[in-house]
Structure 1
């Protein structure tokens, strides 16, 4: 087993819930948190306690129920936020306060109307205050993806000295390219003197579709925590997808990284989150989409039927799916048609399949997908059924 574990920090219940229409009540949050713990998530970000009485109660109830995973509450670098989060996390076996402030000049100037030195002071004060309540404090340097590297290194060193155990380097706007995000992590690993006393964390947004790639690049460069959500849900275009980073790491042993996630629970977890949060998973979603293990092109179907690994790098059962699907369309070939007939209990020789194929194509040209009922009608036209 590799010694380089990547901790999975799930923020489905906090960042994921910020999607319009996906609001969860306390009961739903607790149920999902228990399933996230069963999945093997290391840290569950349960909510933003000061944001509402309901969110406070949700964090408190989750902290009361979770026994193995760390339970985390988000705050701003504000005294009242931190005090409220500490109260919400009191029942937790492993509590973490996640506090932070903007780190880019854009945020410092326009969001906070402040200076770099004032931001440093506020960051240090917030971490010190949080450490009065819990031993595990994570600091987020918001918009680190666009921050000045030298200042980001100073900020990281300062908050670690103040007691931060994890430093989150968010690509808040999804701006970075993978090599840029990796270079940012590498710079911090090599220019922050006390970096060995904390874990660097990736928190990437998907505005340019690069959240997973950036997170993996960050981990390769030295980060040992990835912040993600089930199905990649979250603000705007979403967050890093938990199932994508887990399976990327699993499928690339040369990275010498691993997680404690049980991959066989990924699809069930995806469906539970989709149903509970009333947010449909796009069919072509990597790993957990309905089409992830479907084959409709004749060339792909033929190769897959000869050897599954020709077109599948993940076996469906690895992530809790039942089986791969051969979908019949006008692009399908004879081998796929014969395969589907065999699954329905029909035994046709090659000449019969050739005869059926011509009839099949006429049906396939008239509809998007040929169903079992259509195949049974075709089979009856041959009259030889097994």
Structure 2
């Protein structure tokens, strides 16, 4: 049986009064982004990336717009070392991009890291050691002073080796497992490190506060961040960074609230890849800003391409429901949703094209390389008239009468239910033509001659086929279609009322065809529909009438 009693809260609240972040409404500007896909993300893969894949992935990250990219832990493995050397020796690092390397606060690892950096134009050297209560107690069995000394000694060695080599390096420190560290102690360690580095406006230091394992609700993490932000030494010369993981499923909210609380920088991965439940998903985080009208300074305008490349490099799968990036995140199968989306699309086109407010779609899918036909309105047995009508209108130029849309939606739902599959746009169009256009049956009109009468009525002489017999009939009407309808009724003893007639051009050209829609009401009150397509609008309307009769 599950036993919640064996768990207790492992986080520590800062002093009261660090909740000013709650007064902010939204993230007002993009943070500094640092991708850790090539280190933290790669470390979490079942099959780590090859050197060639890493180089390709690095170039994709540059193209997206990352200006800081953690490329590995060069002292941890020969592959990581060779990757960094390849970037340097092949001159693959753009001048406006800074690579970041990770090292534990241990002397031989730090020295190996500096060897790997030889010839690098600029870099961030990221040193860390764990400071949490649990790790001090169980793993290292060291006092607070001993743990702080590890951090300070590591910071000193970074400074010494940089001075010796003349490298253009900035420094970053992480109190690993920050979320399980007493806030006042984490502050003490970080300030001791900063005292060693003495950051300046020109050579800023990065203090990175990782949610190595999520232990609390996001508001607790935000209050911890605000406490650190307001009490760090040299704050104007410190870039306060976050590295949230996703153990509680709140990596994005941790990051957003952390930025409100004072963070300047985010370390994360595309689509949240990382150990256990992963790192913060930078795609979601950045697109959340975009959806609020804030430029994230990252380019996701070709999301399908990014997803494809990411999957090929990592062997991972972008889930179909992954926010913004998933194949189904904009898809509407529900009839009411489809109707609202279709009406919303028409509204912004005619009323407010400069602002996106379409129901159920937080952003315009075309902004990230998706399209409405394939990604938004999807037809299955749950779909309604709005979705079917929208596809036929936007893709094929058919503007069906509302009641005919309803009838067509039932036809599509029935076909989808029978096949147990989604219907693609071309299948819907074919189904429309098969069901309503030029429907063969008991009746057909072979030839019609019209005559204008003095009283403004029209006389139609109709040659028609009923069953296997051809006959002719003349009748009057208040228009051509009405006259033909009256002739058919008289010749074939048909009972119905002509209740709907609508037509429009299919293409805007001198040789365009016209389409006509006709609805007739049978004695039992039910409607029957037909459509006709022809360069001659009268012929199209007659064909639509005959199809509606045959569809009874």
Q: State the TM bucket, normalised to the shorter chain.
A: over 0.9
Taking a change above 3 Å as real, the CA distance of residues 362 and 265 of structure 1, as seen in their structure-2 partners, is: closer
Aligned to 1:326: 377
Structure 2 counterpart SS, 1:50: coil
User: Any conservation in 2 of the 1:352–1:382 contact (CA below 8 Å)?
Assistant: no
1:177 corresponds to which of 217, 222, 227: 217
Instruction: Report Cα offsets for 1:59-94 as digits up to 9, x if no partner.
Output: 222344112211011111111211222222223322
Match for residue 503 of structure 2?
none
Q: Compared with structure 1, are the counterparts of its residues 285 and 22 closer, same or farther at alpha carbon in structure 2 (3 Å cutoff)?
A: farther
SS of aligned partner of 2:38 = coil
Are 1:290 and 2:336 counterparts? Answer: no
- Structure 1 segments, 4+ long, off by >4 Å, are 2-5
Q: 351, 356, 362: which is aligned to 2:414?
A: 362
Kindly indicate whether residue 105 of structure 2 is the aligned counterpart of residue 77 of structure 1.
yes
1:352 to 404, 428, 433: 404
Q: 1:365 to 1:319 in 2, by over 3 A?
A: same
**Contact 1:11-1:45 within 8 A present in 2 as well:** yes
1:32 aligns with 2:61: no
Question: In structure 1, how many angstroms separate the alpha carbons of the residues matched to 2:386 and 2:75?
Answer: 60
- Say if 2:434 is the partner of 1:380: yes
Cα separation, 2, equivalents of 1:232 and 1:175: 18
Separation (CA, whole Å) in 1 of partners of 2:363 and 2:127: 37
Instruction: Provide the residue aligned with 1:46 in structure 2.
Output: 71
Bigger Cα displacement from structure 2, 350-359 vs 215-224: 350-359
The Cα of 1:16 is off from its aligned counterpart by 0.8
Would the aligned equivalents of 1:77 and 1:101 in 2 still touch at CA under 8 Å?
A: yes
Larger Rg computed on CA atoms: 2
Contact 1:233 1:239 in 2 (8 A): yes
Counterpart in 1 of 2:312?
275
Q: Distance in 2 between matches of 1:293 and 1:91?
A: 47
| Secondary structure of 2:175's aligned partner | strand
Give the 3 Å change call, closer, same or farther, for CA 26–207 of structure 1 in structure 2.
same
- Alpha-carbon RMSD across the aligned residues, in angstroms, is 2.2
CA distance in 1, matches of 2:404, 2:29: 56
Tell me if structure 2 keeps the 8 A contact 1:250–1:258.
yes
For each residue in 1:160-209, what CA deviation from the matched residue of structure 2 results, as whole angstroms up to 9, or x when unmatched?
A: 11227101100111223211111011111222233332111110111111
Give the secondary-structure state (helix, strand or coil) at the position aligned to 1:20. coil
Measure how far apart 1:149 and its partner are. Answer: 0.7
Larger CA deviation: 87-96 vs 364-373: 364-373
Moved more, 156-165 or 228-237: 156-165
Say which of 167, 173, 176 aligns to 1:139. 173
Q: Partner residue of 1:192?
A: 232
* Contact 2:45-2:314 within 8 A present in 1 as well: no
Residue 315 of structure 1 corresponds to which residue in structure 2? 364
Instruction: Indicate yes or no: 2:328 matched with 1:303.
Output: no
Give 1:378 shift. Answer: 4.5
Give the equivalent residue in structure 1 for 2:247.
207
Against the structure 1 CA distance between its residues 351 and 320, is the aligned structure 2 distance closer, same or farther, given a 3 Å change threshold?
A: closer
Q: Contact 1:60–1:89 at 8 Å: present in 2 too?
A: yes
Could you say which structure has the greater relative contact order, defined with CA pairs below 8 angstroms and 6 or more residues apart?
1
**Equivalent in 123, 138, 141 of residue 113 of structure 1:** 141
Matches of 2:376 and 2:359, distance apart in 1: 15
8 Å CA contact 2:35–2:68 kept in 1: the answer is yes
Unaligned runs of 5+ in 2: 1-26, 200-204, 346-357, 438-530, 534-552
- 1:75 aligned counterpart, secondary structure: strand
Aligned residues: 382
Q: Secondary structure at the match of 2:396?
A: coil
Higher strand share: 2
Change (3 A) 1:377 1:55: same
What's the TM-score, normalizing by structure 1? Answer: 0.92
The CA deviation string for residues 109-149 of structure 1, in whole angstroms up to 9 with x for no partner, is 22222221111111011122122325311111111011101
CA-to-aligned-CA distance 1:259-292 (integer Å, 9 cap, x gap): 4322325553233112211111100001111112
Q: CA deviation at 1:351?
A: 4.2
Question: Greater share of helix residues, 1 or 2?
Answer: 1
Match of 2:476 in 1: none
Distance 2:241 2:408 in 1: 57
Counterpart of 2:466 in structure 1 is: none
Q: CA deviation at 1:346?
A: 6.3
Kindly state the Cα deviation for residue 100 of structure 1 after the two structures are TM-superposed: 0.4
Task: Identify the match of residue 271 of structure 2 among 214, 226, 231.
Answer: 231
Q: Distance in 2 between matches of 1:385 and 1:325?
A: 29
Structure-1 separation of matches of 2:318 and 2:130:
32
Label 1:258 to 1:328 Cα distance change in 2 as closer, same or farther (>3 A): closer
